[in-house]
A and B are shown apart, each in its own frame.
Chain A
Amino acid sequence: MSSPIRHIAANTFREAVRDRVLYNLIAFAVLMCGASILVGQISIGIERLVVINLGLTAVSLFGVVIAIFIGIGLVSKEIDKRTLYTVLSRPVRRWQFIVGKFVGLVGTLAVNTFFMAIGVFLALLYVSKSFQAADGWVLVALYFIVLQFLIMTALALFFSSFSSPLLSAVFAFSLFIIGSFAEDLRGFASMAQGVTRWLATGAAYLVPNFSSLNIISSVAHGQAVAAAFIVSETFYAITYSAMAMCGAVLIFERRNLK
């Protein structure tokens, strides 16, 4: 990784840590402890299913909220506070700044997810008393969640490169919700006729397909995930993020920093 990107990423990570972003882990730990004790008492035979579903959904939601709320401020905050001026007057290209910010936030989310994953596995151990072979697929589900964060962070940066933080948050959240129903949208598109079919198909393929990246339910039921599916989803997430980042860079490169 080129040097300015590495330093900007490290500073973004440090900013997130000092802004107490990782404090969400405390809320997550409380949630997992409470859930583990509660499901042990009210769910008979499906404790694992409930803990995996609840744990992974919480990991996903906590991360998406961080990706959006921190992501939309990564650029706009630097412009508003004029901290960007002293960075871009150095041998740092605008694209390096954007990519550094992206890497820093994705790194923060990866660390956050790592600690949450430990929480999920501890809760699983508490309710099942031992690990099972199928629990390994939980790691794949966690990997897919990180892929979702990759896309969400890139989208948050993309929107924040041309709109206000509030609008960026609205756009990013809307895309997350629509993307979570992308498979349904594609199903609807295939049933529609004429112009509606074209429009629905276009929209269905334009929004990020978060529903195919959400394998929490199948993993909770102990179902295996095909290697080819993992590869294709990885390729999809990286390509989609790269396109969103290219958009963000192209817009930011042309922007006057008033």
Chain B
Amino acid sequence: MAAIEILGLSKTYQVGFWRKRPKCALRPLNLNVEQGEIFGFLGPNGAGKTTTLKMLMGLVYPTAGTARILGSKLDDPRMKAQIGFLPEQPYFYDYLTATELLEYYAQLSGVEGAERTRRVRDVLVKVGLPDVAGVQLRKFSKGMLQRVGIAQAVLHDPRVLFFDEPMSGLDPVGRREVRDLMEELKHAGKTLFFSTHILSDAEALCDRVAIIHQGELRGVGAVADLTSSVEGRVEVVWQGSLVPAAVKSLITNCRESGESVRAVVSETSQDAVIDALRRERLHIISVTPLRTSLEEYFVQKLKPAEAAAGVRA
């Protein structure tokens, strides 16, 4: 059974005051996320990521289509006890302390008695907030609120977690900590579905990603597959600043950086270049096949619509 099944989910809003006109936020979306996966939902701002997450959480109703989480309908309370949600830039009841807020959420999730107290204490330690457990949330910084947000999402030990831009508002150390926590959750067998537009985070964390743009799914696949195409090019790096004449004719791209030269050559001329460098007694630092980065794949997936838009214009 898939952790998340999205079957033709779409959303069209009516905008305008007098003359309402439809605005499509999400075109029919079909997606499956397997249990135990970290799945990245990538797209630029306004792509439809948050709309999708809100529909999965039952906050916004789809215009068409349906979805199932852990095999259950989206309004099934038993299923909701097994999911955790971190909204984008979360804001909480600022008159409560961190402990009170988490106690409240634990109660709503059906965690009772001594177990609730234990889990609240443990989760505050996990997100690094045990020292401010008794402080009202109105005194918390943005980064601390994000940690509280993560704490409330994992508090009741859910099987599937939905994070909307979990790294937003965090400093580099905070981002690293959230990344570590997400990896920890994956090792604990949880399924993670998170939206982001920070591609390096997705590349470092995700098993699979989907790319969405203008409400349309542009591509889905395993990160390893998307970034493994070698393109028949190799980057050769050698020490010094000399570029031998025999090499110059073989390289497609060359730049000097510090004490080394980086040159891109085709796979077929790789041996010739290496031989030429050896003849000149230049020290070769590395020879690396060039792979497509997730960023390149992402940009490539966004392009068709931009081009089409250009043609229409």
Residues of A within 8 A of B (CB): 3-4, 7-8, 11, 14-15, 18-19, 81-93, 254, 256-258
Contact = CB atoms under 8 A, between A and B. Distances in A.
Contacts of A82: 87, 90-91
B222 interface: no
Contacts of B84: 89
Interface in B82-114: 83-85, 87, 90-93, 95-96, 100, 104-105, 107-110
* 10 nearest A-B pairs in the assembled complex, by CB-CB distance: A91-B77, A89-B85, A18-B95, A257-B59, A91-B80, A7-B107, A89-B57, A85-B87, A90-B108, A256-B60
Contact of A89 (B61, B83, B96): B83
Contact of B93 (A4, A15, A89, A90): A15
A256 B61 contact: yes
A92 B80 CA distance: 8
B94 to A, nearest CB: 9
Nearest to A80: B91
Counting chain A CB atoms within 10 Å of each CB, which of B85, B107, B110 scores highest?
B107
A11 to B, nearest CB: 6
A90 B87 contact: no
Counting chain B CB atoms within 10 Å of each CB, which of A3, A14, A81, A85 scores highest?
A85
A90 B78 contact: no
Given A82-B91, A86-B152, A91-B77, A11 B104 contact: yes
Contacts of B83: 89
A88 B58 contact: yes
Nearest to B54: A257
A82 B93 CA distance: 10
A163 B186 CA distance: 43
A83 B107 CA distance: 16
A83 B92 contact: yes
18 contacts: A7-B108, A11-B93, A14-B96, A14-B100, A82-B90, A83-B92, A84-B59, A86-B85, A86-B87, A86-B90, A88-B58, A89-B57, A91-B78, A92-B80, A254-B61, A256-B59, A257-B54, A257-B60
Contacts of A254: 61
B199 interface: no
B155 to A, nearest CB: 10
B81 interface: yes
Nearest to B89: A82
Interface in B42-87: 54, 57-61, 75, 77-78, 80-81, 83-85, 87
B110 A85 contact: no
